[in-house]
Structure 1
């Protein structure tokens, strides 16, 4: 499949209030969510894939950055981090909680993810608890966009939430198998796939952890 997007696709699906549909329920709960996100560490959330996180400083894109927890941890490792967060209330928390991290905050969203001032390529892209907010058509466009943003050998870190949908959220049941197949269609092959339990002790919630890598592993990623 081509990774070129038709200009008509470069729009952000929005609700009646002009917000990205996938952010439904987040603005109203931003205070509680920011506190919840910061209760766990980057290392805990991504423990299954830590060995695949770029070891050398590079450019990293964190899509749906929330409170900035992951973006700040990546910046502390020496990376140049662009944090995309479409919910203004969460961006405010991120900037407050991590004021000296050097993170560049951007109001943008998948599937378009225009990044007009911060174009790729990136050594890695993170989408933590984001992908299941996109419907099937949006996921196809989003994967094409991610593939276009990654440098050769770059890695896409994606986590999928499985379980009951919280009230007021725009969320879909997205399988790991579908995600790996979609990635392969756009030249991203799976280098890691695992499952983990929920870190907030929600017994009905499970997570899939995936890492998809762009072709040409001759990059400096280790």
Structure 2
């Protein structure tokens, strides 16, 4: 029986062998430099959507946070469990835009991270995704997102998304922007190709 590909994950399973060490080579501190000051200082509950191999989740767990790592690509999830074993990380096979499994728990988080994922969603999927993300945020929670700009591999499903459109979408669901930053890629090959990132942070401004 042929496995169903989650929309937005196209190409990742096929490229997992070389992507896993590439993901592992980028530290949380370097990647999140523009927004790291927004990560809760006290031990908190954090949702890492599109956790990849768990580099970010592992760093957060080492700081004392309890992390739920959502990753739909089996190869990445298996690598993360092996490379970053931690009692503070729970791995879940779930995905945007539905987030069906995590939504069923009716749990709220102090912070939600969505790094390098948003660009894989079509416009209608992004609206559905945002509607499912907001209920996961506590009243004082922070939502941190990164959006990729630039050429992508041919076997990936990628949409060019503007930061402004994402901000307007977030506002329509009761989120208030607290930060926007534009940074170059920290991966050498992407940097040479002119890839840049928009970093956005939001908080809930009213109950949805």
- TM-score bin, normalised by smaller chain: over 0.9
Q: Show structure 2 runs of 5+ residues with no match.
A: none
Q: Which residue of 2 aligns with 1:29?
A: 15
- 1:46-71 CA distance string (max 9 Å, x none): 00011111111111100000010001
Q: Which residue of 1 aligns with 2:24?
A: 38
Q: What are the residue-to-residue correspondences of 1:176-187 with 2, within 5 Å?
A: 176-187=163-174
- 1:66-106 CA distance string (max 9 Å, x none): 01000111111111100000000110110111013531000
The one of 184, 197, 200 equivalent to 1:210 is 200
Aligned pair 1:99/2:89, yes or no? no
Normalised by the length of structure 2, the TM-score is: 0.93
Secondary structure of the 2:99 match is coil
TM-fit CA distance, 1:116:
5.3
Normalised by the length of structure 1, the TM-score is: 0.87
TM-fit CA distance, 1:120:
1.9
Q: Which residue of 1 aligns with 2:4?
A: 18
TM-fit CA distance, 1:21:
1.5
TM-fit CA distance, 1:24:
0.4
TM-fit CA distance, 1:32:
1.3
CA distance in 2, matches of 1:102, 1:53: 16
CA distance in 2, matches of 1:58, 1:156: 14
Secondary structure of the 1:126 match is strand
RMSD: 1.3
Moved over 3 A (4+): 116-119
Aligned pair 1:129/2:86, yes or no? no
Q: Which residue of 2 aligns with 1:158?
A: 145
TM-fit CA distance, 1:31:
2.2
CA distance in 1, matches of 2:106, 2:119: 24
Aligned pair 1:170/2:157, yes or no? yes
